[in-house]
């Protein structure tokens, strides 16, 4: 994903750390990445729900929409 590469996000830790400060386009790319990864890594969504990654993504989208 070009957006992730252009933001120098090379691994899962870097991506997870970027969620709380990501802009709209980067956040879309992060969410899309998780959606696409489930195809190749069954159970990923379950783990990310447990670790509240999706909640953090949705909360960040909410913050962005509230300020625009």
Is 56 or 68 the better-scoring residue by pLDDT?
Answer: 56
Q: To the nearest 10°, report the CA torsion of 46, 38, 59, 29.
A: 170
Token pair of 64 as six digits: 């962005």
Residue 68: what pLDDT?
A: 82
pLDDT band at 1 (very low <50, low <70, confident <90, very high): confident
| Whole-structure pTM value | 0.90
Token pair for 8: 């120098």
Which residue reads 């990501």 in tokens?
Answer: 22
34, 44 Cβ separation under 8 angstroms? yes
Per-residue model confidence (pLDDT) at position 60: 98
Is pLDDT at 47 greater than 80 in this prediction? yes
pLDDT tens column, 6-46: 999 999 999 999 999 999 999 999 999 999 999 999 999 99
Would you say how long the chain is, in residues?
A: 68
Between the two ends of the chain, the Cα-to-Cα distance in Å is: 25
């Amino acid at each position: 994903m070009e957006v992730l590469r252009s933001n120098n996000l090379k691994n899962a830790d870097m991506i997870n750390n970027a969620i709380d400060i990501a802009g709209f386009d980067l956040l879309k790319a992060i969410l899309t990445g998780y959606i696409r990864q489930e195809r190749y890594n069954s159970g990923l969504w379950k783990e990310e729900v447990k670790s509240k990654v999706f909640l953090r993504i949705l909360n960040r989208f909410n913050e962005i929409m509230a300020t625009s």
